[in-house]
Amino acid sequence: MELTLAIAIGVLTGSGVWLLLRPRTFQLIIGLSLISYGVNLFIFSMGRPRFGAPPVLLTDGAINPADYTDPVPQALVLTAIVIGFATTALFLVVLLVSRGLTGSDHVDGREPR
Amino acid sequence: MGWADQILIAPIILPLVTGALLLLFDERRHFLKAMVNVVSTLLLVVVSLVLLNFADAPVGNGAATTGVYLLGNWAAPFGIVLVLDRLSALMVMLTAVLAVASLVFSLARWHRSGPHFHTLFQLLLMGLNGAFLTGDLFNLFVFFEVLLAASYGLVLHGSGALRVKAGLHYIAVNLAGASLFLIGVSLIYGVTGTLNMADLAVRIPAVAAGDRMLLEAGAAILGVAFLVKAGMWPLGFWLPNAYSAAAAPVAAIFAILSKVGIYVLLRLSLLFFGAEAGASAGFGNSWLLFGGMATIGFGAVGVLASQAMGRLAGFYLLVSSGTLLAAIGTDSVAVTSGALYYMVSSTLTVSAFFLLIELVERAQDPASDVLAVTMEAYGDDTDEDDIQDEVGVTIPATLAILGICFAGCGVLLAGLPPLSGFIGKFAMLTALFNPEGLAPGGGIAGGTWVLVTLIILSGLSAMIAMTRAGIRTFWAPIEGTVPRVRVIEIAPVAFLLVLCLALTVKGGLAMRYMDATAQSLHAPASYVQDVLSAESLPGAKTEAAQ
């Protein structure tokens, strides 16, 4: 599972960085989204992912923490997803405004000569 | 816990509530919105004065008074804490002062040139104050995003193709920076298992040797995110464009945005990698030192090369960021204290300058700047014939006042005596030449000489650029193009410059505060102990248990 997760994070982030360096605004926003997916998975993986272990303590009695997975990264991922979603939406609006004002989807607002 | 203890969260709650309240009013009720905003911002000044007083209260043998606020009544490593010490109180105070100046300036006309200016303004203040007060790494990310989201809206305020283009770059760079921030935070969490800054300071010396590389990688990635914000070379190319494109009052409050990066770097590098950090002590200091020096060099060249004054101010911000980064990198108490003084002075000055630029340039044709520089390059000896006619031209009062403010800004930016820009630089240079434990007749390291030279040369370049801009603006022929300036617009500029003057006159008082701040920053043990020993309230706990 670690290998699959690592490859997924690597592919997402790598593609994201490549797209980020492209000159079109649409490529830019897709690149940023891919990077943020990669980063979210990365945060998740920092809690030592395990199969079948609940993150929430259920019993009132004595608790063995080793039976549970770390809930903190999951909470962090949720926050990061929400914030990433909001900023991407905001960025999308700016892209559209830029397209409307300049008539070009180049990040500099004009085509390279 | 009485109301006096609750005041610690007021700098966050107050702008949040005001910002939300302002959303409810119709966009056409400018006056009402402006008044609510002004009242709230003035309240913020009062609150931050109280906090400053609290943080500076002498307790015991010069130890820091750390105010700790447990959110949700959870004790320190488990819940999120707000922490008030001298540094955060200083930053909150600086934010409030800049907010007043730029808000009053915006009331003249800018606040009507786009929707939701007041709400975004208050949310920006909330994000700034939260970032300065929080004691939790992930909470810092959240407040960072709050202030960035508000700043995205503000940088586009007033619209126009130029702003949208600069805003697009600004947002893209900061979104990429936010991803780096998250990677750094999660790496640090993965290694240490905590996000509380004080708890991290305790755990980092105990990290196993095998994990140390991961921890340092995390800290470095986190550091890059803040260096992007602070504008270190080569991460700061976006800064002059975005700041010079923003509306004047927005640029004035943005002057403190780059200082957020500096603040976090200063706090975290001393807390995590201070003298007590074991194997990782001093991690990243040489990067900060050399990166800072490169930034000063790049900024100084940029200041000289700028044709428009907005870009001059933007590049000067890079110079001041570079100076502060290099000062953090030297890792000395005395240099830090000088740097803090310099930071306050330069932030106030740049903010005043951003406001002043708009007033000065109002009279000018936008193309005349370029024309003037071209004329300098090719020589203009065509004007010499009509010199005799101009005997005894009266200078309009507006231009005289603008000129005085401009000269004040110039002296402050260049760091010439007698104003506070000089004192800040002088304090840093003195400390650089007298490092702790310097033997009589002992030499000073080569890197220090380079830094000293760069600091002085950057002052020179600022002076040359300001003189050139001033001559072009104020000694140009007066042909009926006196800018129309309202009192409400020049007053904030004067207010900020008078604050710099007060900082000069009361220099001893200010330096004593900065010294105490630097000392407690370099000895974080009492900060850590105060945060971790803060107990949750017993009364509330029993209520929860029932």
**A47 within some domain:** yes
pLDDT value for B441: 62
Instruction: Report the residue from B148, B165, B187 with minimal CB separation from A98.
Output: B165
Tell me, yes or no, if A5 comes closer than 8 A to chain B by beta carbon: no
Classify residue B219: in a domain, yes or no.
yes
Q: Is residue A74 part of a domain?
A: yes
DSSP calls for B124-150: HHHHHHHHHHB-BHHHHHHHHHHHHHH
**A49-58, B392-401, B426-435, range with the lowest pLDDT:** B392-401
Among B164, B194, B228, which would you mutate to test the A interface (most chain A Cβ atoms within 10 Å of its Cβ)?
Answer: B164
* Tokens encoding B518: 């630097």
B70 forms beta bridges with B81
The angle at the Cα of A97, spanning A93 to A103, to the nearest 5 degrees, equals 140
Supply the DSSP symbol for A23: S
CB of B118 closer than 8 Å to CB of B36: yes
**What length does chain A have?**
113
Give the tens place of pLDDT for each residue, B246-260: 888 999 999 999 999
H-only helix segments in B331-419? 333-361, 368-378, 397-414
> Is A91 among the domain residues?
yes
pTM of the model: 0.90
Q: Residue B332 domain-assigned?
A: yes
B211-230 pLDDT tens trace: 888 999 999 999 999 999 99
Q: Is the pLDDT of residue B408 over 70?
A: yes
pLDDT at site B378: 58
| CB-CB neighbors (< 8 A) of A88 in chain B | 175
Partner B, chain A 13-52, Cβ-Cβ below 8 Å: 20, 25, 28, 32, 35-36, 39-40, 42-43, 46-48
User: Tens digit of pLDDT for each residue in B489-518?
Assistant: 888 999 999 999 999 999 888 999 998 889
Residue written as token pair 């007698």: B418
Tokens of B165: 């283009």
Contact between B222 and B184 (Cβ < 8 Å): yes
pLDDT above 70: percentage of residues in chain B: 88
**B328 burial class (0-12, 13-18, 19+ CB within 10 angstroms)?**
buried
> Cβ contacts (< 8 Å) between A87 and chain B: which residues?
145, 148-149, 152, 171, 175, 178
Q: How many domains does one find in chain B? A: 1
The pLDDT, as a whole number, for residue B542 is 45
* Whole-number CA gyration radius for chain B: 24
pLDDT at B387: 46
Q: How far is CA A101 from the centre of its chain?
A: 29
Which helix H or strand E contains B82, and what residues bound it?
A: strand B81-84
CA distance B296 to chain A (A): 27
The SS3 of residue B68 is: strand
Domain assignment present for B157: yes
| Residues from chain A contacting residue B148 (CB–CB below 8 Å) | 87
- B439 secondary structure, DSSP code: P
Nearest-Cα distance to chain A for B166, in Å, is 9
Q: A43 to chain B nearest CA, in Å?
A: 5
Sign of CA dihedral A51, A57, A60, A66: positive
Q: Residue B141: its chain A contacts at CB < 8 A?
A: 80
> Chains A, B: CB contacts under 8 A, how many?
88
- Give residue B409's domain range: 3-377+396-529
Q: Is residue A60 part of a domain?
A: no
Q: Is A19 helix (H, G, I), strand (E, B) or coil?
A: helix
Does the pLDDT value for residue B374 go beyond 70?
A: no
Kindly list the residues from chain B whose CB atom is less than 8 angstroms away from the CB atom of residue A101: 160-161, 164
The verdict on residue A38 lying in a domain is yes
Tell me if A20 is assigned to some domain.
Answer: yes
Closest-CA distance of chain A to residue B31, Å: 28
Domain hosting A88: range is 2-51+69-102
Question: ipTM score of the complex?
Answer: 0.93
Please state which of the ranges A57-61, B255-259, B328-332 shows the lowest mean pLDDT.
Answer: A57-61
- Domain of residue A84, CATH code: 1.10.287
In a domain, B73, yes or no: yes
Arithmetic mean of pLDDT, A58-78: 81
* Chain B CB within 8 Å of residue A92 CB: no
B539 domain residue, yes or no: no
Most confident of B221-225, B359-363, B484-488, B520-524: B221-225
Instruction: Name the closest residue on chain B to residue A84, using Cα atoms.
Output: B175
What is the nearest CA distance from B183 to chain A, expressed in angstroms? 6
Q: Rounded CA gap, B416 and A48, in Å? A: 56
- Please report which confidence band the pLDDT of residue A8 belongs to, taking 50, 70 and 90 as the band edges: very high
- Phi, psi of B115, rounded to the nearest 5 degrees: -75, 155
Bridge partner list, B83: B68
Q: Is the pLDDT of residue B184 over 80?
A: yes
**Picking from B39-53, B390-404, B415-429, which range would have the lowest pLDDT averaged per residue?**
B390-404
- Residue A108 placed within a domain: no
The span from the CA of B519 to the CA of B35, in Å, is: 41
Domain assignment present for A41: yes
Would you say residue B481 has pLDDT above 80? no
Mean pLDDT of A28-48: 91
User: What pLDDT digit, counting tens, does each position of B433-467 carry?
Assistant: 877 666 666 667 777 888 999 999 999 999 999 99
Number of domains in chain A: 1
Answer whether B260's CB lies under 8 Å from B147's CB.
yes
Any B CB within 8 A of A78 CB: no
What's the mean pLDDT in B278-290? 84
Tokens 């030297």 sit on residue:
B330
